[in-house]
Chains A and B, each alone.
Chain A
Amino acid sequence: MTWLLVVEQILNGLQLGVMLFLVAAGLTLVFGIMNLVNLAHGSLYMIGAYFAVAFLGWTGSFAASVVLTLLATLVVGMLVEVVALRTLYERDHLDQVLATFGLILFFNELVAIVWGRAALFASVPPALGGFVELLPGLRYPVYRAVIILVGLAVALLLYVVVGRTRLGMLIRAGASNRTMVAALGVNIRLLYTVVFGFGAALAGLGGLMAGPIYTVQPGMGEELLIEVLVVIVIGGIGSIRGALVGAVVVGMVDTLGRAFLKPMLGTVVSPAAADSAGPALASMLIYILMAAVLYFRPQGLFPAVRSR
């Protein structure tokens, strides 16, 4: 076990975390500002992946498909918000969970009807294939490095928009006191629709980036959705900073656990026991982590402060 191996695994963990952050950011934004639990966020991620494949097929250009996918997911997100989700803002979380779960079933089947049940072909664009030598002896796939950069760029963008622009100020104000903001003459409804669309576009971006390395098929959002929910719960719901920290922590713990838990166990117990206990523990690791965090801080690491 060389230190180079450890460095590469840390990079892998960071990349996994950043991917989770891309999807978590939209979810936590919507939750924090509109107090809406949106399980269908995973479906928006899936739709992003499907759109990316479709637009690439039509235009033949990766750059064009990126722009079109972001726009399309933004539009779909706003549509869903206006048609299905508006009435849910005043409801309790349970109703929201149920209704958005119904949306998941609907979107999965819709996608299966339009594109069929078989997985679609999506691969890394040739321009982003290949490797980059980050350190002597450490060759890292370009595409994965790009994911890290894009994720960090999005984090920076969100920090700037939410913290330093007028829109961001409206968003933060709407989160802490919706009635007051409406009373001051701001079109809250429009604000919410725009924010939701933005969150959907972020999910779509996640799906677009994930397509080439994961499988594009109906239901691809569910597995990720659970991990993303774990991330925002650990980070603190409504906090973008929490989403970033939570995502990176989850990515690291999961990756390093999968890589090093079995060898480490192997030094303590017999190889046969490590063989079965290792993978089982590794798959439970993020849940154990979440339980531990919630035990000491029941509101997550960076809970967003709210006053109604």
Chain B
Amino acid sequence: MRTLKAALAFALVAALLAVQARAAEPVKIGFITTLSGPAGIIGKHMKDSVELALDHLGRKVGGLDTEIIYGDDQRKPDVGKQLADEMLKKHRVNFVSGVIWSNVMLAVAPTVTGAGTLMVGTNAGPHELAGKMCHELYFTTSWQNDQTPEAMGKYMQDQGLTDVYAMAPNYAAGKDMVSGLKRYFKGKIVGEVYTKLGQQDYQAEITQLRAANPKVVFVFYPGDMGIQFLKQYAQAGLRGQIPLYSVYTVDEISLPAVGDAALGNYETRYWSPDLKNEANAKYVGDFRKKFGYTPTFYGAQSYDGVMLIDSAVRAVKGDLSNKKGMVAAMRKADFKSTRGPFTYNHNHHPIQNFYLLRSVKGPGGEIEMQIQKTVFENHKDAYHQDCPMK
């Protein structure tokens, strides 16, 4: 009798386990970003935003339990690829997301899509992936790198600005920014200077700039290069004299370090913390409450990435093997984005608005970016014609 009871109990447990195993297949998301080193601050912004998104979803993406695995690419493409391999083969993730840097993305994205897994990029926007290398399984919630300077170029062109002096670091992204500007700005450029990547002291270039007598200065200096340039620009007394327009230079990460030196700076961007829509108000408000600082666009994109994945899993009712269904769902961009409603172009890059931002003194006395006007409505990237997808 006892053996029979034991056998029944065992069978019951086994049946329960079997049922469990089938019903509660969790969603696994791999998120690759830079968490160590000087650029680790960006990774922190992205990670915190992903965590907030998961909180808002009740830790369930598409209604399923979710496991998120973070990887630190140390800003190295080969480490990023190794992380992607590990996430795909060891953790068997259903989605890979994240990636800050274009060169890391160019190593990671083909690895992920080549393995038949969906990739949702949340920052890097190299033109190859918008054009020739576009892929059915690759989506991005950010932008294509050139779109942001294109918006700046359009604004300058519309305003009839002239005598522009352009500066950027001497690497692929720097050159892309200036060529993006020139795609829409057809006015006179009195100087185009490329500086050493990672350069700290810009005194020599600022002296040359003054000698060229420009009316407008355009720069692209991400990260610490931006902080250095802005401080030195202000110290040279140019802040009040020659207006400074930039892309990816002044943001919520660099503002606390630069302070007044960034006052009056213009930027173009697809998003800003003060963009008015329901999803963004919830995101920025809850983010400030939970983490105690203001989020940046890196974070907003990562938040949207999780929400996009959620919408796809919801659409296929949790059937993670239905990749075609998820791709179709993602193409609809049927989720509440922090940038407001937008659509996907056939190359899976967003068609979205771009705004002119200015850094001004906010109500609390600190400096913040505020939207001034819309520069582009439903702007497409310049490389989508090269993408063979329909």
Binding site for B on A (CB under 8 A): 1-2, 5, 8-9, 12-13, 15-16, 19, 108-109, 112, 116-124, 129, 131, 139, 141, 143-144, 212-220, 223-224, 255-256, 258-259, 262, 275-276, 278-280, 282-283
Contact = CB atoms under 8 A, between A and B. Distances in A.
B195 A215 contact: no
Contacts of B207: 5, 8-9, 12, 259
B203 A16 contact: yes
Nearest to B259: A121
A121 B231 CA distance: 10
B205 interface: yes
19 contacts: A1-B211, A12-B204, A117-B38, A118-B256, A119-B224, A121-B256, A121-B259, A144-B235, A213-B228, A213-B231, A214-B201, A217-B224, A224-B200, A255-B203, A259-B205, A259-B208, A279-B170, A279-B196, A283-B199
B227 A258 contact: no
A117 B228 contact: no
A119 B170 contact: no
B211 A275 contact: no
A15 B41 CA distance: 31
Interface in B181-225: 192-201, 203-205, 207-208, 211, 224
A276 B254 CA distance: 28
Given A215-B224, A259-B207, A129 B201 contact: no
A130 B196 CA distance: 28
Question: Which 9 residue pairs across A and B have the least CB separation, nearest first?
Answer: A119-B257, A283-B196, A215-B224, A279-B170, A117-B41, A279-B194, A219-B38, A215-B227, A255-B204
A120 B227 CA distance: 10
Q: Which of B197, B205, B208, B259 has the most CB of A within 10 A?
A: B208
Contacts of B194: 275-276, 278-279
Contacts of B240: none
Nearest to A218: B38
Nearest to A129: B235
A66 B195 CA distance: 32
B252 to A, nearest CB: 10
Contacts of B197: 283
Contacts of A275: 192, 194
A188 to B, nearest CB: 37
A141 B224 contact: no
Interface of B: 36-38, 40-41, 44, 170, 192-201, 203-205, 207-208, 211, 224, 227-228, 231-232, 235-237, 253-254, 256-261
A119 B254 contact: yes
Contacts of A276: 170, 194
A275 B167 CA distance: 12
A275 B193 CA distance: 8
A276 B44 CA distance: 35
Nearest to B200: A214
Given A112-B40, A218-B38, A120 B257 contact: yes
Nearest to A131: B237
Contact of A123 (B44, B195, B199, B231): B231
Contacts of B204: 9, 12-13, 16, 255-256, 258-259
Contacts of B195: 258, 279
A280 B198 contact: no
B34 to A, nearest CB: 10
A212 B200 CA distance: 12
Given A5-B207, A118-B256, A213 B224 contact: no
Contacts of B192: 275
Contacts of A124: 235
Nearest to A251: B201
Given A12-B203, A214-B228, A117 B40 contact: yes
A215 B257 contact: yes
A14 B103 CA distance: 37
B218 to A, nearest CB: 16
B205 A258 contact: yes
Given A213-B232, A214-B228, A276-B170, 13 more contacts: A9-B204, A121-B258, A121-B259, A129-B235, A214-B201, A217-B38, A220-B224, A256-B204, A258-B205, A275-B194, A276-B194, A280-B170, A283-B197
Contacts of A216: 257
B327 to A, nearest CB: 36
B282 to A, nearest CB: 24
A192 B168 CA distance: 45
B318 to A, nearest CB: 37
Nearest to B43: A117
Contacts of A2: 211
Given A117-B38, A223-B200, A141 B170 contact: no
Contact of B228 (A131, A215, A256): A215
Q: Which of B37, B200, B232 has the most CB of A within 10 A?
A: B200
A262 B227 CA distance: 25
Contacts of A116: 41
